[in-house]
Structure 1
Amino acid sequence: MNKKLIGAGLLVLVAVVAMLVWKFTKPVLDEAEVVETSDAKDVEGKITIALDNWVGYFPFRSKEFKKRMRQAGWEVKVIDDAADYHARMKQLNDGEIDFAVVTVDSYILNAAKHNYPGVVVTVIDESNGGDAVVALEKAGKSLDDFRGKSVRVAFTPDSPSHYLLKALKSHFNLNELLPSGLTGMRIETKGSEEALQKLLSGQADVAVLWEPDVSRALEQPGVVKIFSTKETERYVVDILVVSRDFLKKNPKEVKLFLSNYFRALKWYRDNEEEWFKELEAETKSDRKRVRDMVDGVDWPSMSQNCTKWFGISAPGEDSNEVLVEVIESTVNVLIDNDDFKASPLPDEDPYKIIYSGVLQDLYAGYSGVKTPTTVAEAMLTQGMKFEPLAAENWAKLQPVGTLKIQPIVFQSGTFQLSTEGKEELDKLMQKLKHFPQYRIKVVGHTSNEGDPTANKQLSQERAESVVQYLNVTHNVDFNRCLAHGLGGEQPLIREAGQSYRDWQYGLPRVEIVLVREDL
């Protein structure tokens, strides 16, 4: 009898275990079947990024960025943590997210306890009015109006808003705008939206906000702006931080992520209508408010990141390391506000939380500086295809420099290349092989004597002849080149002691200017 009971009990136990296994396994099998029988099977993996509703982070939330990553085989999961910077840094440390977008001050402050688990790989934006201190007009209209008063201030702790108050306290000796928690004047909120609600409900006299809440606040009667980042430089700078572990294990994916970010950003700049439509839908705002929000943010391009922020440049270019300066300045403000007694950075070295390698790789490919190693490679770079550009987009390209060449000679009074002119263009190709990714502006000039209209037409035709020769003889893509005739509008500067005749002789010329897209 006991054996039968034991046997029955075992059967029941086995059945229960089987049911539990099936309960937890079936969804996995179903998901696997869904993936296998759909385009999702082509996804290599998922990349997770944490951020909040700040308008500067829009490119990461955008359709274009996600589409580009999806086409490259990666799904992007965006986590909006409502500006919970403590949680964001903990997730980065614990490996729950791969990237975090955060301000310089918030990263220094909130990542210190985790020994800085990520490195800065690019600057995302600089606030240019997108962060502001606003107030009820009856409470005050300027910073000085609050001196010596008890002020109820609403802000998000350990956020860019908090840092803005610290900077004002440090730079203007204005302790009233950062009251202690003991006074009842300090109103800590979970995000900018809640801070705005506290202001509009009359629970706060002052609120520190970021877009889109700055624009929303200023649309309300009786609300005034008393300070904003529009009048500052390098106060609030947003950065992209990648987990050190993810970077070490997935360097190619980090490069892909950054490349697609910059390409998506450029796409929206070139397609402003789509950009504004998406922001209108996301923020539930009209066009004017969206325009104000966008105007309050500066998004540096890839080349600006390199040359201004990270100190990366191509040969002959100037560059700066503004990011290091911002980090050091931010550390000083935090120390002045008693957040730290000394620099919390590893070995007090800002370079230990920065990694410029990804940008260097991207910039090397983007700048086009390359030496072909084989005849086949040289031929391949000559035949590279370029997307066509509209005139307004050609105007947006950044000049790299004018190549040094001997005069390109034409048959007298015509746009027909002489034998000497063709030989010089053949020599020019040896230089162009080193810059396969730059576009080319061929600029024609004439003397400033004679009929201006005829001169301009001749200079245009000569520039077009050069483009035609490069295409037919050397397989240079037409879309890569732009012929532009200026006639006698931009004569060379006459040197001291140079005869008039010699000066005039040098005015008819063709210049080869390398230009690049500002990704």
Structure 2
Amino acid sequence: MRVTTVAALGILVVGSVAAVVWKYTAPVLEQRAKIQTSDAARLKGTVQIGVDNFIGYWLLCSPQQRTLMRNDGYDQKCVDDEADYAGRFQKLKEGKLQFAVATVDSYELNALTSQYPGLMVTVIDRSTGADAAVACNDKVKNIDDLKRGGLKIAFAVGTPSEHLLKVVGARFDISQWREADKSWRIETKSSAEAAKKCQGGEADVAVMWEPDITKTLKRNPKASKLIGTDFSPYTIIDVLIVRSEFATRNPEVVTKLLKNYFLTLSHYRQNPGEAVDDALAYVNANATAETRLTQDDVKSAMKGVTWINLAENATLWFGIAEPEPGTLPKFALIDVIESTAKILTDSGDFTPGHRPPDDAGLMVQSRFVKDLYETGLASGEKVDAKDADSLSREFSELTEDQWKSNFRELGTLRVRPVNFPSGTDTLSVEARENVDHIAEAIRSFPKARIVIEGHTSTRGDSQENLLLSQDRAEAVARYLQVTFRVSPNRIRAVGYGGSKAKEVVQTREESNREYLGRLPRVVVKLVMESY
């Protein structure tokens, strides 16, 4: 009786265990059977890319790209993390993502804690209007107005919007942004939230990306664009980053993804109508009825992005080949990484021992672009070599009346003192070095024209001071033209003598002598055509 009972209990236990095992293994076996009897059996693996809803990334997540990848045996998935950049790079480090897209500034800043787990393998696009600072009311007319106190600025923290603010603050010397008082900041989680702060009257300025810029300017009649990446097209650069370990172990997958991406870019350039439809589907994927975009909205937003083809990557960004016969290869990506690090350091984001590698090349891997370029895949693609040298850009000649009436002031650049020996217009060695820094700042704004103002102290003959200030302004202009090939048509040099001394405010700590010593100065302003 006891033996029978034990046997029965044993059978019951075994049966129960078998039932439990079957419960959990049956779905797995069923899924495996489906894979083996369907097209999924052809797949070699899954590739996951960390993205957000920025319109510049839609090509990577487009139907065409996914189809090409599937034809090569890979299921490509875009994982939208709603611009959680630090989380994106941590997932890249952990291997939960094989690729990630980001701006150069975002990777330098937000991947520091995850120890830069990936390498930049191609430049996807540059923002040429897709990011902008928008004045929400009539308190702010230009960038110099931002130097006043009491303004509220809304922006998404840790995003390209914040970086655009940092660039503006560094280039135009908005010193209060670097001070301890942060009451001017309205920190948001997204561009859309910053747009709401602008529309609701909580912010005087909002920094956003497309499509929120287009929507804000359309809905708010008082809103106006202060400055955008159409004025500064090398400020926000989007790159594709591959996990370093994945690139080492699966170089063929990286090559396939890049090849398919460039084929996708070519396909949509030849089919612009299809491009708009697919981009619209991408940006509206998670949109509400309130935030959905129309085709016209998407067309407008797409104008603010310049996608970079394979030939441009090879010749202008990675320095693999000559843009034109007889010209040197360009390493624009390295330049952007280095200049971005300077901006972030100036803004207090980096300190010694807590910053990106000093060698920008450690963040870049050019072999994949090089290999694809050498296959001839870029044959027939156009490259504008002048596009990489913003200082030598051509400008039309203007009359004095046109200079005075056709332009609006963008802002006054941050300028280190350009000193001259007393009574002369000769640039000292130190002055030339400081003009070199002016050229570096100007490089960031290739569409802006330049007004160089010469000023003297109020001492001495006013007419002689006027002539001397003109000569000094022209000396700076000549140096920029000769040394950096800046077009003479781009620059207007004007001398004011001591007539604008009141623009320099004497501090309480300054003696009269110190104050008078600050009056001889060179002021550099950027201006844009008025429309």
Which interval holds the TM-score relative to the shorter structure?
0.5 to 0.7
Deviations 1:65-93 (A, max 9, x none): 11111111111010011000010010011
How big is the shift at 1:294?
A: 1.3
Query: How far apart in 2 are the matches of 1:179 and 1:161?
Result: 19
Amino acid at match of 1:30: E
How big is the shift at 1:132?
A: 0.6
Closer/same/farther in 2, CA of residues 397 and 10 from structure 1, 3 Å limit: same
Partner of 2:302: 294
Amino acid at match of 1:90: Q
2:299 is paired with a residue whose SS is: helix
**2:305 maps to 1:310:** no
Deviations 1:392-442 (A, max 9, x none): xx8x76799xxxxxxxxxxxxxxxxxxxxxxxxxxxxxxxxxxxxxxxxxx
Contact kept in structure 1, 2:311 and 2:382, CA below 8 Å: no
Query: How far apart in 2 are the matches of 1:191 and 1:10?
Result: 60
Amino acid at match of 1:305: N
Which residue, 311, 316, 330 being the options, matches 1:320?
330
Q: Which stretch of structure 1 is more off in the superposition, 99-108 or 336-345?
A: 336-345
Q: Which stretch of structure 1 is more off in the superposition, 306-315 or 120-129?
A: 306-315
Partner of 2:147: 147
Closer/same/farther in 2, CA of residues 353 and 140 from structure 1, 3 Å limit: same
How big is the shift at 1:316?
A: 5.1
Amino acid at match of 1:17: V
Contact kept in structure 2, 1:121 and 1:241, CA below 8 Å: yes
Closer/same/farther in 2, CA of residues 18 and 154 from structure 1, 3 Å limit: farther
Partner of 1:196: 195
Query: How far apart in 1 are the matches of 2:175 and 2:219?
Result: 27
**2:93 maps to 1:93:** yes
Task: Within 5 Å, give how 1:91-170 maps onto structure 2.
Answer: 91-170=91-170
Query: How far apart in 2 are the matches of 1:368 and 1:104?
Result: 24
**2:84 maps to 1:84:** yes
2:148 is paired with a residue whose SS is: coil
Task: Within 5 Å, give how 1:211-290 maps onto structure 2.
Answer: 211-221=210-220, 222-283=222-283, 284-290=292-298
Contact kept in structure 2, 1:153 and 1:177, CA below 8 Å: no
How big is the shift at 1:141?
A: 2.9
**2:336 maps to 1:337:** no
Amino acid at match of 2:104: V
Closer/same/farther in 2, CA of residues 6 and 343 from structure 1, 3 Å limit: same
How big is the shift at 1:5?
A: 7.8
How big is the shift at 1:238?
A: 0.6
Partner of 1:352: 362
How big is the shift at 1:317?
A: 6.2
Query: How far apart in 1 are the matches of 2:76 and 2:261?
Result: 12
How big is the shift at 1:41?
A: 1.4
How big is the shift at 1:7?
A: 6.4
Query: How far apart in 1 are the matches of 2:53 and 2:275?
Result: 16
How big is the shift at 1:37?
A: 2.3
Closer/same/farther in 2, CA of residues 174 and 398 from structure 1, 3 Å limit: closer
1:227 is paired with a residue whose SS is: strand
1:61 is paired with a residue whose SS is: coil
Partner of 1:429: none
RMSD of aligned residue pairs (Cα, Å): 2.7
Query: How far apart in 1 are the matches of 2:195 and 2:357?
Result: 39
Task: Within 5 Å, give how 1:358-377 maps onto structure 2.
Answer: 358-366=368-376
2:59 is paired with a residue whose SS is: helix
**2:25 maps to 1:28:** no
Closer/same/farther in 2, CA of residues 91 and 317 from structure 1, 3 Å limit: farther
Closer/same/farther in 2, CA of residues 179 and 186 from structure 1, 3 Å limit: farther
How big is the shift at 1:177?
A: 5.9
Taking only the aligned residue pairs, the percentage that are identical comes to: 36
Closer/same/farther in 2, CA of residues 317 and 291 from structure 1, 3 Å limit: farther
Contact kept in structure 2, 1:331 and 1:343, CA below 8 Å: no
Query: How far apart in 2 are the matches of 1:199 and 1:17?
Result: 62
Query: How far apart in 1 are the matches of 2:208 and 2:6?
Result: 68
How big is the shift at 1:39?
A: 1.4
Contact kept in structure 1, 2:127 and 2:236, CA below 8 Å: yes
Q: List gaps (5 residues or longer) in structure 1.
A: 370-393, 401-519
Task: Within 5 Å, give how 1:61-72 maps onto structure 2.
Answer: 61-72=61-72
Q: List gaps (5 residues or longer) in structure 2.
A: 284-291, 386-531
How big is the shift at 1:217?
A: 1.2
How big is the shift at 1:57?
A: 0.6
1:230 is paired with a residue whose SS is: coil
Contact kept in structure 1, 2:103 and 2:160, CA below 8 Å: yes
Closer/same/farther in 2, CA of residues 177 and 285 from structure 1, 3 Å limit: farther
Amino acid at match of 1:340: F
Contact kept in structure 2, 1:166 and 1:178, CA below 8 Å: no
Contact kept in structure 2, 1:146 and 1:176, CA below 8 Å: no
Q: Which stretch of structure 1 is more off in the superposition, 250-259 or 152-161?
A: 152-161
Q: TM-score, normalised by structure 2?
A: 0.65
Query: How far apart in 1 are the matches of 2:61 and 2:40?
Result: 20
1:214 is paired with a residue whose SS is: helix
Query: How far apart in 2 are the matches of 1:295 and 1:195?
Result: 22
Closer/same/farther in 2, CA of residues 397 and 87 from structure 1, 3 Å limit: closer
Query: How far apart in 1 are the matches of 2:215 and 2:246?
Result: 38
Query: How far apart in 2 are the matches of 1:399 and 1:156?
Result: 33
Which has the higher Rg, Structure 1 or Structure 2? Answer: 1
Query: How far apart in 2 are the matches of 1:172 and 1:235?
Result: 14
Query: How far apart in 1 are the matches of 2:200 and 2:356?
Result: 44
Query: How far apart in 1 are the matches of 2:217 and 2:268?
Result: 27
2:321 is paired with a residue whose SS is: coil
2:365 is paired with a residue whose SS is: coil
Q: TM-score, normalised by structure 1?
A: 0.67
Deviations 1:98-122 (A, max 9, x none): 0000000111111122221110101
Amino acid at match of 1:167: V
1:219 is paired with a residue whose SS is: helix
How big is the shift at 1:188?
A: 2.3
Closer/same/farther in 2, CA of residues 17 and 254 from structure 1, 3 Å limit: same
Amino acid at match of 1:205: D
How big is the shift at 1:225?
A: 1.4
Partner of 1:205: 204
Query: How far apart in 2 are the matches of 1:338 and 1:7?
Result: 75
2:58 is paired with a residue whose SS is: helix
Query: How far apart in 1 are the matches of 2:274 and 2:352?
Result: 47
Query: How far apart in 2 are the matches of 1:113 and 1:364?
Result: 36
